């Protein structure tokens, strides 16, 4: 442990508290306590190139405790990432690249959006799995190109979150020896000492998960931290959990107090902290040249490592040209999705159509992987041709969501995951983060309505579809029939944003007669399936209710009532086509009737004036699916009667 190392770790501390105090907002406690840890990881272990932060062969560092963002930003600044000192001065201000919690895609070097505690652990597990999966697909006995490691830094709050249990258990089961989770153990949370609410032996918990557990008794001693990390990396059969004892608010007047967790230090307290650290420079945001030189020396070493790695890649390219080309194809997502045109299509659930489609598409789109929270026989998402493409998450929905986010963040792999729609609430924070990060996992939610039937209201989603539509930047697609389901999958494969596919349990018509209309118009998100010149009514429907709407329209026509039918698989896709398109499909002067087997609130905001919506605004029943639909009036006769009342009213 050299003096320059200690000063460099202190430089991260000082910049962090300067940023927080200058912003008059933020969390100084963990940066003061954990800066030695992050410095040690970056200098001695992490493979990175700050001039190419997206280099696919880099190691990953995830700050699960996102409230310590000032520490991460200071570290990235000092190690040469594109983050100027002015950005630290603009910490937590609109327009800066240093928001209150780290945001992926917003700040160079930030590997994941974190802040909701525990999410970073789940994403790190997904990244570690992705690295291992790519290694199995591309590494050769004489040339290992995927050999990276995933480091994540977490705190006491992360350890209390349920997702840390799910993700920790899964990582141990999978034997992800390339994952190192470092636990900044300072025994303090916002309300006070952790023993107010948390008294378990966390190390024993992770041992029970099957992790390699290591303890470091002094988080301010670089040599001891290195010894712990060396021990972690000496084996690769199990993930490692390194418990590092620290003090929150180290060397500040509030050291060891919960008051330093999320309250900025005053200017006077910042000065006292500098003095306690032996930091002789009073000027804010100042780091002397000798310390900056140390960081730049490290960066030069990292760039040499990059050049050595590039030589290995050159060898791989020349020795295994077809595998190299395949690797680049995965990296760039260059796949011919192709087409699927089945003969003699029969009525099936859209989850059954989905099973056919994902298995056909996986033959040409090689980088698809698919997993389920112990429901693959029901959600039909298993890939039959290659078991290695299937991920068994167990009953861990929340970790599953974070895991596929991590896989998507890693790159090169297109992850799908599935559960019943009613359980999407168990993974909602992960879905929201996927949308916030603008990444593209695909969430498949089946058993999408009261047609679940006999299992009853605990398993019958009612509010879930409309609730998912409330998440910005998430495509929610509820397809009708075979061809909409096919087009939904094709869209999801190309999408740069997350997609939620909503699929039925019950059989629906394949709607073969509307194939050409569907293929031509699906990308609009809403389109006329049946169209009359001057309609008396426009019936819009999603998913399984499109077939119902078509039947109603045909019945009404027998009574000289002209009703257009609009299939509306995706509100988000429709909105992207603009107000003019929406008004073309849903003219303002025509009455509109929306059918969806879920909550009806929101349709007027989506479609416009003169909207009548028909759906399910209460919990369902346990019974035969057709009886449950009839109980709620979701029948041709009932809807036809309702529409006639509206037209004649």
Catalytic residue among 397, 460, 484, 625: 397
CATH label of the domain that carries residue 500 = 3.40.50.970
Tell me if 114 is assigned to some domain. Answer: yes
- 132-189, pLDDT tens digit by residue? 999 999 999 999 999 999 999 999 999 999 999 999 999 999 999 999 999 999 999 9
The pLDDT score that the predictor gives to residue 342 is: 86
Same domain, 157 and 261: yes
The pLDDT score that the predictor gives to residue 367 is: 98
**φ, ψ of residue 244 in degrees (nearest 5):** -115, 120
Same domain, 279 and 158: yes
Tell me if 355 is assigned to some domain. Answer: yes
Tell me if 541 is assigned to some domain. Answer: yes
Same domain, 212 and 88: yes
Provide the b/e sequence for 91-109 (b: ≥16 CB within 10 Å).
bbeeebbbbbbbbbeebeb
Can you tell me which residue has the tokens 């290195």?
226
Same domain, 402 and 279: no
**CA-closest candidate to residue 369, choices 417, 314, 428:** 417
Tell me if 639 is assigned to some domain. Answer: yes
What is the pTM for the complete model shown?
0.98
DSSP 582: H
Number of compact structural domains in the chain: 3
Is residue 448 very low, low, confident or very high in pLDDT (cuts 50, 70, 90)?
Answer: very high
The pLDDT score that the predictor gives to residue 1 is: 65
Least confident of 1-5, 525-529, 594-598: 1-5
Same domain, 447 and 496: yes
C-alpha–C-alpha distance, residues 464 and 422, integer Å? 7
- 417-432, pLDDT tens digit by residue? 999 999 999 999 999 9
- 68-106, pLDDT tens digit by residue? 999 999 999 999 999 999 999 999 999 999 999 999 999
Provide the b/e sequence for 453-468 (b: ≥16 CB within 10 Å).
beeebebbbbebbbbb
Half-sphere exposure in the Cβ direction for 217 (13 Å, CA): 0
The residue range of the domain holding 56 is 3-302
The pLDDT score that the predictor gives to residue 259 is: 97
Same domain, 131 and 244: yes
Query: Among this protein's residues, is 397 annotated catalytic?
Result: yes
Same domain, 563 and 498: no
- 173-229, pLDDT tens digit by residue? 999 999 999 999 999 999 999 999 999 999 999 999 999 999 999 999 999 999 999
Instruction: Spell out the alpha helix ranges (H) of 234-266.
Output: none
Q: Among 302, 335, 356, give the residue marking a domain's end.
A: 302
Q: Among 273, 302, 331, give the residue marking a domain's end.
A: 302
Same domain, 405 and 461: yes
Same domain, 395 and 280: no
Tell me if 324 is assigned to some domain. Answer: no
Is residue 19 very low, low, confident or very high in pLDDT (cuts 50, 70, 90)?
Answer: very high
Tell me if 308 is assigned to some domain. Answer: no
Tell me if 309 is assigned to some domain. Answer: no
For 193, the 3-state DSSP assignment is strand
Same domain, 281 and 353: no
Tell me if 514 is assigned to some domain. Answer: no
Instruction: Spell out the alpha helix ranges (H) of 320-349.
Output: 321-332
C-alpha–C-alpha distance, residues 504 and 577, integer Å? 27
The pLDDT score that the predictor gives to residue 2 is: 87
C-alpha–C-alpha distance, residues 96 and 92, integer Å? 7
Same domain, 504 and 530: no
Q: Among 508, 536, 567, give the residue marking a domain's end.
A: 508
Same domain, 363 and 285: no
Is residue 440 very low, low, confident or very high in pLDDT (cuts 50, 70, 90)?
Answer: very high
**φ, ψ of residue 415 in degrees (nearest 5):** -95, 135
For residue 557, what is the enclosing H or E element?
A: helix 545-557
- Which of left, alpha, beta for 453 (phi over 0: left; psi -120 to 50: alpha)? left
- 603-628, pLDDT tens digit by residue? 999 998 889 999 999 999 999 999 99
Is residue 340 very low, low, confident or very high in pLDDT (cuts 50, 70, 90)?
Answer: confident
For the cut 70, the answer to whether the pLDDT of residue 500 exceeds it is: yes
CATH label of the domain that carries residue 562 = 3.40.50.920
Average pLDDT, the chain: 98
The pLDDT score that the predictor gives to residue 649 is: 77
């Amino acid at each position: 442990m050299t003096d320059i190392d200690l000063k460099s770790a202190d430089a991260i501390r000082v910049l962090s508290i300067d940023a927080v105090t200058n912003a008059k907002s933020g969390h100084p406690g963990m940066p003061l306590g954990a800066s030695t840890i992050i410095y040690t990881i970056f200098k001695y272990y992490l493979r990175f190139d700050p001039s190419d932060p997206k280099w696919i062969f880099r190691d990953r560092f995830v700050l699960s405790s996102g409230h310590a963002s000032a520490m991460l930003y200071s570290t990235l600044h000092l190690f040469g990432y594109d983050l100027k000192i002015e950005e630290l001065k603009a910490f937590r201000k609109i327009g800066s690249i240093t928001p209150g919690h780290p945001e992926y895609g917003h700040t160079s070097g930030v590997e994941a959006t974190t802040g909701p505690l525990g999410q970073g652990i789940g994403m790190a597990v997904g990244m570690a799995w992705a690295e291992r999966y790519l290694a199995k697909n591309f590494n050769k006995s004489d040339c290992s190109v995927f050999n990276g490691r995933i480091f994540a830094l977490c705190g006491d709050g992360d350890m209390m979150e349920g997702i840390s249990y799910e993700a920790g258990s899964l990582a141990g089961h999978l034997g992800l020896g390339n994952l190192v989770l470092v636990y900044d153990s300072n025994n303090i949370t916002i309300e006070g000492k952790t023993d107010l609410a948390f008294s378990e032996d966390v190390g024993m918990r992770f041992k029970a998960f099957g992790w390699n557990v290591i303890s470091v008794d002094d988080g301010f001693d670089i040599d001891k931290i290195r010894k712990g990390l060396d021990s972690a990396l000496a084996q690769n059969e199990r993930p490692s959990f390194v418990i590092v004892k620290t003090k929150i608010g180290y060397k500040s007047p509030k050291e060891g107090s919960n008051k330093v967790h999320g309250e900025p230090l005053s200017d006077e307290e910042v000065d006292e902290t500098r003095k306690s650290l032996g930091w002789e420079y009073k000027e804010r945001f100042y780091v002397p040249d000798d310390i900056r030189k140390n960081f730049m020396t490290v960066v030069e070493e990292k760039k040499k490592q990059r050049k050595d790695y590039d030589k290995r890649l050159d060898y791989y390219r020349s020795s295994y040209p077809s595998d190299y080309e395949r690797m680049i194809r995965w990296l760039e997502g260059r796949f011919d999705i192709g087409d699927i045109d089945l003969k003699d299509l029969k009525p099936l659930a859209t989850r059954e159509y989905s099973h056919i489609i994902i298995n056909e598409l996986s033959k040409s789109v090689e980088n698809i992987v698919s997993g389920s929270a112990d429901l693959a026989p029901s959600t039909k998402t298993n890939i039959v041709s290659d078991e290695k493409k299937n991920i068994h998450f167990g009953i861990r929905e929340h970790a599953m969501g974070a895991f596929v986010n991590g896989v998507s963040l890693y790159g090169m792999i297109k992850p799908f995951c599935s559960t019943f729609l009613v359980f999407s609430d168990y993974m909602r924070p992960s879905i929201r983060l996927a949308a916030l990060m603008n990444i593209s996992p695909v969430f498949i939610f089946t058993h999408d309505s009261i047609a679940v039937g006999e299992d009853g209201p605990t398993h019958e989603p009612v509010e879930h579809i409309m609730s998912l539509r409330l998440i910005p930047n998430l495509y929610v697609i509820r397809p009708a029939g075979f061809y909409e389901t096919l087009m939904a999958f094709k869209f999801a494969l190309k999408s740069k944003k997350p997609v939620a596919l909503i699929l039925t349990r019950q059989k629906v018509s394949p709607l073969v007669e509307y194939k050409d209309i569907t293929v031509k118009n699906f990308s609009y998100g809403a389109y006329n399936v049946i169209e009359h010149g001057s309609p008396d009514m426009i019936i819009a429907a999603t998913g399984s209710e499109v077939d119902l709407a078509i039947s109603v329209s045909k019945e009404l026509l027998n009574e000289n009532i002209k009703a257009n039918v609009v299939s509306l698989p995706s509100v988000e896709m429709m909105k992207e086509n603009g107000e003019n398109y929406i008004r073309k499909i849903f003219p303002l002067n025509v009455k509109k009737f929306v059918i969806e087997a879920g909550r009806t609130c929101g349709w007027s905001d989506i479609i416009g004036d003169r909207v009548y919506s028909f759906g399910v605004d209460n919990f369902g029943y346990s019974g035969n699916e057709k009886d449950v639909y009839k109980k709620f009036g979701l029948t041709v006769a009932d809807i036809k009667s309702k529409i006639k009342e509206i037209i004649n009213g």
